[in-house]
């Protein structure tokens, strides 16, 4: 009789401790995100070329510019596939023009921001988490603190801005390549009239599509930057913690981006 009661108590204690731990961690993460945003406003108010600006530029170079070719390849292939397959299928039911709203829905509203986010998570999310984890282990962060240089203000804010802005810009490129570049690819396989294509595309593309796409990419960028840097800072002492935290940063970023995508899409349709 006593054994089941003891097990139940143990289970309840475990549950309670886990809840408190998660609540504490969530509060800490919320505080961290708040601090990033607070310091971002401060950074933007007092932006000076010598501090942080260079980190911001380098972050944009690595996260944005260097990922451009990957984004171009993915979006060109995706756009061309939708046009070729979608048109041949939809023309059979006399709804050939439906390919344009489908293209916009896939490239602009849904997969564009999400695939761009995935590329950035894979490239920059891991890199940031690893780099910051290493900085913690090698006491570089403590060195910043010892000189009164706030690590969030100096290290995180430029990265946060760099990733977020890069994400928005890369998403724009994804759209450019996906919507227009794929047209060029299609010309080699199944030619289409340029003016017909552009006119149709522009008549179906709404400001809400563009806004939703930009909003998503902005939020995804913020999520990736916050999550990657948060887990980078979660490394405490050992270098073996670095890959563990990098994996956590990637998986949490994926999940959060997909949840945010679902939430924004819901809001869009409500």
Contacts to other proteins by CB under 8 A = 48, 50-51, 57-58, 60-61, 64-65, 68, 93, 95, 131, 134-135, 138-140, 142-149, 165, 169, 172-173, 175-176, 198-199, 202-203, 205-207, 210
Cβ distance 252 to 224 under 8 Å? no
Q: Residue 51 or 268: which CB sits closer to other proteins?
A: 51
Task: Give me the least distance between CB of 41 and other proteins, in Å please.
Answer: 14
Local structure of residue 237 (DSSP, 8 states): S
* Shortest Cβ 59–other proteins spacing (Å): 9
CA distance 34 to 37: 5
* DSSP-derived 3-state class of residue 51: strand
Nearest to 28 by CA among 243, 249, 233: 233
169 contacts 66 by C-beta, under 8 angstroms: no
In this complex, which beta carbon is closest to other proteins, that of residue 61 or of residue 189? 61
DSSP letter (8 states) at residue 52: B
CB of 250 closer than 8 Å to CB of 126: yes
CB of 62 or CB of 254, closer to other proteins: 62
Question: Would you say 8 or 202 has its CB closer to other proteins?
Answer: 202
Least distance from C-beta 38 to other proteins, angstroms? Answer: 11
* Integer Cα distance of 253 and 225 in angstroms: 9
215 with 172: CB under 8 angstroms?
A: no
If we measure between CA atoms, which residue out of 144, 157, 13, 127 comes closest to residue 63?
Answer: 127
| Complex with other proteins: residue 130 or 256, whichever CB lies closer | 130
Select 180 or 185, whichever has its Cβ closest to other proteins: 180
Say which residues have a Cβ less than 8 Å from residue 136's Cβ, sequence separation at least 6.
232, 233, 235, 236
CB of 116 to other proteins, least distance (A): 12
125 versus 162: smaller Cβ distance to other proteins: 162
- Rounded to the nearest whole angstrom, what is the least distance from the CB of residue 258 to other proteins in the complex? 25
Please report how close the Cβ of residue 225 comes to other proteins at its closest, in angstroms: 17
Query: Cβ 255 to other proteins, closest distance in Å?
Result: 28
Rounded distance between C-alpha atoms, residue 45 and residue 17, angstroms? 42
């Amino acid at each position: 009789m006593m054994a089941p009661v003891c097990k139940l108590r143990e289970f309840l204690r475990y549950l309670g401790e886990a809840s408190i731990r998660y609540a504490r961690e969530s509060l800490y993460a919320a505080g961290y995100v708040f601090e990033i945003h607070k310091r971002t406003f401060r950074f933007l108010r007092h932006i000076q070329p010598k501090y942080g600006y260079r980190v911001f530029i380098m972050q944009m170079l690595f996260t944005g510019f260097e990922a451009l070719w990957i984004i171009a390849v993915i979006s060109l292939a995706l756009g061309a596939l939708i046009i070729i397959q979608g048109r041949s299928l939809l023309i059979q039911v006399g709804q050939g023009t439906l390919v344009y709203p489908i293209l916009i829905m896939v490239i602009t509203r849904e997969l564009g921001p999400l695939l761009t986010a995935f590329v950035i998570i894979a490239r920059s999310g891991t890199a940031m988490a690893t780099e910051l984890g290493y900085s913690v282990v090698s006491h570089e962060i403590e060195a910043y603190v010892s000189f009164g240089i706030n690590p969030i203000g100096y290290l995180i804010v430029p990265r946060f801005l760099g990733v977020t802005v890069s994400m928005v810009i890369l998403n724009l490129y994804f759209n450019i390549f996906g919507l227009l570049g794929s047209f060029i690819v299609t010309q080699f396989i199944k030619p289409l009239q340029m003016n017909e294509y552009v006119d149709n595309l522009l008549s179906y593309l709404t400001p809400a599509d563009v806004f939703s796409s930009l909003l998503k990419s902005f939020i995804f960028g913020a999520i990736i930057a916050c999550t990657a840097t948060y887990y980078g800072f979660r490394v405490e002492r050992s270098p073996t913690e670095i890959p563990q935290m990098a994996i956590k940063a990637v998986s949490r970023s994926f999940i959060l981006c997909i949840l945010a995508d679902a939430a924004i899409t819901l809001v869009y349709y409500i």
